Amino acid sequence: MAWINFREIVAPPPCDTYPTQVSGIDSMNFEDRFLSMDFFVDPYPYYRYLLENAPVVWSDRVRGWLVSSFDDVQSGLQNSTVFGSGGRIDEAAQSLSEQAREENATALDCLNAMMSFRDAPDHTRLRRLVSKAFTARRVAGFEPQIQKIVEELLDSWPRGQEFDLVETFSFPLPAMVICRMLGIPDERLGDINRWADGIVNLLSAGVMTETAARNASTVVTEASNYLNQLIEEKRSHPSDDLLSALVVLEEEEESLSRGELIAMIIQLFFAGFETTEGLIGNALSVLLEQVDTFEALAGNRDFAESTTEEALRYDNSIQRQTRVARADVHVQDVLIPQGSYVFFLIGAANRDPRRFDRPDTFDPSRADLGSVAFGHGAHFCLGAPLARLETRIALQSIAERYPDLQMAAKPMYGSLLAVRKPKNLMLRIG
């Protein structure tokens, strides 16, 4: 076959709603600008370029295939027979030297043990087990506590001076919620943040680096030591929390191994707040530029729910999911060979004009609400109901309490391909 790359673009069928030019991006400089600082500040012009010119394309930069159209992303994530989750960590780790892979086996082994990076039957078994503990009833029953945490955090917002949303609200809210659900004391929030960042910086970058791998190994060791101690405490003195429920599962006939249990807890606490932190920050930054929409949130739960759904589509915190092709497969007549690393670009799919009318307009009242923000198929995000609940309560409560809230500066973003979240978002009241 002809090896397709950014210099050999394969165009999709014509679509009248695509722009004729996208911010000066062309096939001669896309690869150079992909994962640039401009990309991380605003990836959507780049996604529009892919949707128009190269919906399935090879990138040397990430050593994988980029798939961007809504239909292809949705069907690809649905088809776990062809696009597997197992082997993703090993494939991503090929960017590391053999010595680095051996030296950082602690982090890589922990990631490989996580439910998200395993295929059936292991994924099916782990998801069934954790679903027994992470129930819809448990999430719904936590709503009063979430509302209480939100109100306490909003009480601390100062008048007359600038303050950072991330520091004062969008990090502590989901971090406190997941820690309290798990039964981890609030005083460990700083450690949880550091541990989660260490893992996410390895897992969510476009390319794994040796520095990130070393840091991830350090935090995985620290987190594992702490969690082993906490697990024994929960075994001796169980309480009504998620970790105690998971410890019970470890002792059942179809049990979690200790390594799987540790990996699952680590995945829950970093997935439990990193994504919601980003979603709240991304949503509020656009809402504060649309005053009428922000004001309409106050006292209107239904509108707050549709606003949350539109935020998930418009600027979701999860921008891509990866898979490994288990067999040769054609996507839009492009052959993706067996063993290839595939990046399903959720951020691009959610702005696809073939699926959404006016895709670059934030409109909670749109008739075509919906997205692939939480993935699709067997690996659909287990924490989706919790993320939706926290975000809805957060946005509605902020609008009700501080209708005169303003952005003091545009948000600053990090350089993660998978997770889009503000590093800081400076605000002021009045």
- How far is CA 25 from each of CA 39, 45, 327, 361, rounded to the nearest angstrom? 11, 8, 33, 21
User: Cα–Cα–Cα angle for 255, 258, 262, nearest 5°?
Assistant: 115
- Single out the residue of 46, 19, 18, 20 nearest to residue 32, CA to CA: 46
Mean pLDDT within 34-53: 92
- What integer pLDDT is reported at residue 274 of this predicted model? 80
In this structure, of 32-46, 68-82, 358-372, the range with the lowest mean pLDDT score is 32-46
Given a contact cutoff of 8 angstroms between Cβ atoms, the answer to whether 148 and 395 are in contact is no
Grade residue 15 by pLDDT with cuts at 50, 70 and 90. Answer: very low
Residue 26 scores a pLDDT above 90? no
Residue 21 scores a pLDDT above 80? no
Q: In angstroms, rounded to a whole number, what is the distance separating the alpha carbons of residues 311 and 317?
A: 9
Given a contact cutoff of 8 angstroms between Cβ atoms, the answer to whether 89 and 108 are in contact is yes
- Which residues are bridge partners to 422 per DSSP? 413
Residue 10 scores a pLDDT above 70? no
Residue 193's CB: how many other CB atoms inside 10 A?
Answer: 18
- What integer pLDDT is reported at residue 1 of this predicted model? 32
Phi and psi, residue 282, nearest 5°: -65, -40
Q: What region, left, alpha or beta, does residue 338 occupy, with left being phi > 0 and alpha being psi -120 to 50 degrees? A: beta
Report pLDDT digits (tens) over 258-270: 888 899 888 888 7
In this structure, of 45-49, 127-131, 206-210, 248-252, the range with the lowest mean pLDDT score is 248-252
Find all residues with CB under 8 Å of 247, minimum gap 6, and list them.
231, 234, 235, 238, 261
Please report, to the nearest 10 degrees, the dihedral formed by the alpha carbons of residues 85, 91, 95, 96 taken in order.
100
Report pLDDT digits (tens) over 220-247: 999 999 999 999 999 899 888 888 888 8
User: Cα–Cα–Cα angle for 6, 66, 80, nearest 5°?
Assistant: 150
Of 165 and 28, more confident: 165
Report pLDDT digits (tens) over 386-429: 999 999 999 999 999 999 999 999 999 988 888 999 999 999 99
- What integer pLDDT is reported at residue 248 of this predicted model? 81
Grade residue 372 by pLDDT with cuts at 50, 70 and 90. Answer: very high
Mean pLDDT within 176-190: 91
Grade residue 25 by pLDDT with cuts at 50, 70 and 90. Answer: low
Q: Across the chain, which distance is largest between two alpha carbons, in Å?
A: 65
Given a contact cutoff of 8 angstroms between Cβ atoms, the answer to whether 422 and 281 are in contact is yes
- Tokens found for residue 426: 């400076």
Mean pLDDT within 167-183: 93
User: Cα–Cα–Cα angle for 386, 392, 393, nearest 5°?
Assistant: 90
The amino acid sitting at 115 is M
- What integer pLDDT is reported at residue 9 of this predicted model? 41
Mean pLDDT within 180-204: 89
In this structure, of 2-6, 98-102, 417-421, the range with the lowest mean pLDDT score is 2-6
Q: In angstroms, rounded to a whole number, what is the distance separating the alpha carbons of residues 44 and 28?
A: 18
Grade residue 315 by pLDDT with cuts at 50, 70 and 90. Answer: very high
End-to-end CA distance of the chain: 61
The average confidence (pLDDT) of the chain is 88
- What integer pLDDT is reported at residue 252 of this predicted model? 65
Residue 28 scores a pLDDT above 80? no
Residue 24 scores a pLDDT above 70? no
Given a contact cutoff of 8 angstroms between Cβ atoms, the answer to whether 165 and 406 are in contact is no
Domains by residue range for the chain, with CATH:
30-429 (1.10.630.10)
- What integer pLDDT is reported at residue 8 of this predicted model? 44
Mean pLDDT within 301-311: 96
User: pTM for this structure?
Assistant: 0.89
What 3 state SS string does the chain have?
A: CCCCCCCCCCCCCCCCCCCCCCCCCCCCCHHHHCCCHHHHHCCHHHHHHHHHHCCEEEECCCCEEEECCHHHHHHHHHCCCCEECCCHHHHHHHHCCHHHHHHCHHHHHHHHHCHHHCCCCHHHHHHHHHHHHCCHHHHHHCHHHHHHHHHHHHHCCCCCCCEEHHHHHHCHHHHHHHHHHHCCCHHHHHHHHHHHHHHHHHHCCCCCCHHHHHHHHHHHHHHHHHHHHHHHHHHHCCCCCHHHHHHHHHHCCCCCCHHHHHHHHHHHHHHHHHHHHHHHHHHHHHHCCCHHHHHHCCCCHHHHHHHHHHHHHHCCCECEEEEEECCCEEECCEEECCCCEEEEEHHHHCCCCCCCCCCCCCCCCCCCCCCCCCCCHHHCCCCHHHHHHHHHHHHHHHHHHCCCEEECCCCEECCCCCECCEEECEEEEC
Grade residue 249 by pLDDT with cuts at 50, 70 and 90. Answer: confident
Report pLDDT digits (tens) over 113-161: 999 999 999 999 888 888 877 788 888 889 999 999 999 999 999 998 9
